[in-house]
Structure 1
Amino acid sequence: MRDNKSLKHNNPQPDGRYHSLLVSRLINQIMVDGKKSIAVSIVYKALDALAIEDASGDMKEKRRLTLEKFERAIKNVTPEQEVRSRRVGGATYQVPVPIRHSRAESLALRWLINSARSRSGKPMPTLLTEEITNAYNESGPAFKKKEDMHRMAQANRAFAHFSWAARN
């Protein structure tokens, strides 16, 4: 069993092009079998395609606008509450609890990637661009997943008084 020491989290470094931790985390979640250069290529191609949609001014301005659009898309897909199963007195309740920011962001990235991977017929950078655009416009499967999670939390808010048991 683990001693009562705090765990050291391995925080990723900001990516080289956009200097963003969020883009770096997206790259790490896209990565399969340790092939980071392929993941970097996919993410940068997807974000470049977003920049082309916005086609304006110089390169720095394009990157800034692209990063803002990406961050807004992630914010639109980031959940604020989730439900956790808690067993109280022989019954199992779905208890709505607030989510830590890091977990919420991870869920948003995961949903975005999974919804892009679930589609087929196009290269991954194109699919990722479409999913980011959908999330920015508050539509698509990733946004629907967030809405479903919030709907579930709202439906079970009667059990919120069990949240003391859900914070484990």
Structure 2
Amino acid sequence: MRNMSMTCPLEEQQSSHPDAKVILPSQAPPPPTNAALKSYMYAPESLPPRQDPLLHFIVNLLMRDGKRATAERYIANMMGHMGKLTNTDPLPLVYEAVELAKPVLRMQSRKQGGKTMQVPIPLNERQSTRRAIMWIIEASRRRADRDISRRLAVEMLAVLEGNSSVLSRKDEQHKIGTINRANASVRI
């Protein structure tokens, strides 16, 4: 029989890292250090928009004349403004704002006989996300501020607070769809 020395993985880990401390489930974790406190300031070089699909989508819809770096800088600055205004991580706020602004359907006109009818058509996830982002961008363009990133940040926060024109536009769309739901069976 071979003689095997059995060592605990925890002991090996402690011996390899002399200043590492093991925290048992019954113990309270140590207070966070200054390095562990997270700053919610984003800069163009610290925020990689290509990694997050929603931010990538917003960049693509905001981009004009193929200037992706400019659109990425606007989004990074928007995230920084949102972080300053709310003092929280802005990425979940962006997701929540877009989710609140998403419409479920769109209306399409169909001429049948001598009259035109509005036919409600359901939107898939990508279509509703795109429409919500476009509505937010359009509403931010109507704001008075000169800086586009600040306008976008304020508009996203207005959607979250419930006092944005985007939400009234979504409600109006759904109201028209509800009124014309009898036309849903009409073939387009």
Compute the TM-score of the two structures, normalised by the length of structure 1: 0.77
Is contact 2:49-2:56 (8 Å) kept? no
The aligned residue for residue 20 of structure 1 is 52
Is contact 1:18-1:67 (8 Å) kept? no
CA distance in 1, matches of 2:184, 2:66: 41
1:50 correspondence with 2:82: yes
1:121 correspondence with 2:145: yes
Is contact 2:78-2:149 (8 Å) kept? yes
Secondary structure of the equivalent of 1:85? strand
The aligned residue for residue 63 of structure 2 is 31
Is contact 1:82-1:99 (8 Å) kept? yes
1:107 correspondence with 2:131: yes
Residues 138 and 105 of structure 1, relative CA distance in 2, 3 Å threshold: same
CA distance in 1, matches of 2:167, 2:153: 15
- Structure 1: gaps (5+ residues): 1-14, 57-61
1:20-78 CA distance string (max 9 Å, x none) = 1110010111111111111111111111111223325xxxxx3xxx2111001000000
1:95 correspondence with 2:119: yes
The aligned residue for residue 110 of structure 2 is 86
Residues 106 and 75 of structure 1, relative CA distance in 2, 3 Å threshold: same
1:65-103 CA distance string (max 9 Å, x none) = x21110010000000012111222332210112111111
Q: How big is the alpha-carbon RMSD for the aligned residues of Structure 1 and Structure 2? A: 1.8
Is contact 2:107-2:119 (8 Å) kept? yes
The aligned residue for residue 43 of structure 2 is none
User: How many matched pairs?
Assistant: 142
Structure 1 consecutive aligned stretches of length 4 or more whose deviation exceeds 6 Å: none
Task: Identify the match of residue 75 of structure 1 among 99, 117, 126.
Answer: 99
Computing the radius of gyration from Cα coordinates, the structure with the larger value is 2
Task: Identify the match of residue 162 of structure 2 among 131, 138, 153.
Answer: 138
CA distance in 1, matches of 2:161, 2:122: 24
CA distance in 2, matches of 1:118, 1:54: 22
Identity of aligned residues (%): 23
CA distance in 2, matches of 1:69, 1:113: 16
1:114-147 CA distance string (max 9 Å, x none) = 1111223331111000110011122212222111
Deviation of 1:153 after TM superposition, in Å, equals: 0.7
